[in-house]
Amino acid sequence: DTGVSQNPRHKITKRGQNVTFRCDPISEHNRLYWYRQTLGQGPEFLTYFQNEAQLEKSRLLSDRFSAERPKGSFSTLEIQRTEQGDSAMYLCASSFRGGNTDTQYFGPGTRLTVL
C-alpha cells in the first residue's frame, strides 16, 4: 500500500498563469477529496469524487478551479488565471466508502506560491 501521492510537491507561478496538480489515491479507494490549507488554518474542503463522479463542490471553488477524475483513479485540479490569494497547500485525500467508517488518508500536498 503506497499511500496517496501528489505531484508536484511545490509549484511557483506568476499571477495569471494556469497550474495543474495531480493526485494518485490509494488503490481501491473509491472516494477522492481536495482540500486547501493556508498557514495556521485547518484544511478547507474544496470538492470530492466518488469514482469518476464529482458529487460535491464547495462555494470556495470558484469558476477558475476545475477538478477531474476521468477514470475513477487519479485526479487533477486545475487553477486558471492564478491570483496571489490562491497561494496555499493543496491537499488530496482518499477513502474507501464501505462499512461504518470513511477515514480519509491524506497525501503530502502541493504547495503553491503565486508571485
Pattern 60-89, another protein, x by CB under 8 A? ------------------------------
**Interface residue with another protein, options 20, 68, 76, 106 (CB under 8 A):** 106
3-state SS, one letter per residue, for the chain: CCCCEEECCEEEECCCCCEEEEEECCCCCCEEEEEEECCCCCCEEEEEEECCEEEEECCCCCCCEEEECCCCCCEEEEECCCCHHHCEEEEEEEECCECCECCCEECCCEEEEEC
Nearest distance, CB of residue 112 and another protein, angstroms: 14
Asked if 101 and 34 touch (Cβ cutoff 8 Å), the reply is: no
**Interface residue with another protein, options 7, 29, 44, 66 (CB under 8 A):** 44
Q: If binding is defined by CB under 8 A, does position 27 make contact with another protein?
A: no
Q: Candidates 15-23, 37-45, 66-74, 77-85: pick the segment binding another protein (CB under 8 A).
A: 37-45
Count of residues touching another protein (by CB under 8 A): 24
Enumerate binding residues for another protein (CB under 8 A).
4, 31, 33, 35, 40-45, 48, 56, 58, 91, 100-109
